[in-house]
Amino acid sequence: MTLIELESISNRRPDLCEGCVLDYMKVLGTADPIVAYQSPGTMTVANGNHRVEAAHRLGWTHIRAEVRIPESPHAATLYQDQRIPGGCGHTASGNRF
């Protein structure tokens, strides 16, 4: 595990579930680290976009991450694009945790 700068993340997403972001803002200090692929001068988040947004809103400058080196130049993009639509885990009551 390592700390990475939020500013080094190249793929912040605007289409995140607001409920998830708010939930992570409550528990971010104990949440699992994000998974990010390292490319020259940048990081691509493969798992953890809601946590990245929560950290940004909380004013954090760094976040815990499991940093991986991609096997190919497109590995991070391919992994990131395999998202599950509507898979955030929120219930009808809006609770996730």
Is 86 within the bounds of a domain?
no
Is 91 within the bounds of a domain?
no
Is 87 within the bounds of a domain?
no
Is 96 within the bounds of a domain?
no
Residue 82 pLDDT: 47
Is 85 within the bounds of a domain?
no
Q: Which residues of the chain have pLDDT under 70?
A: 73-97
Cα–Cα distance list, 10 to 19, 59, 86 (Å): 23, 18, 23
Beta strands in 6-94 (DSSP E): 34-39, 42-47, 62-68
Per the structure, the count of domains in the chain is: 1
Residue 2 DSSP SS3: strand
In this structure, are residues 44 and 10 in contact, taking their beta carbons and an 8 Å threshold? yes
Is 27 within the bounds of a domain?
yes
CATH at 72:
3.90.1530.10
N-term to C-term CA, the chain: 24
pLDDT digit string, tens, across residues 17-38: 898 999 999 999 999 999 999 9
Residue 74 pLDDT: 65
Is 94 within the bounds of a domain?
no
Domain with 22, as residue range(s), is 2-80
Is 95 within the bounds of a domain?
no
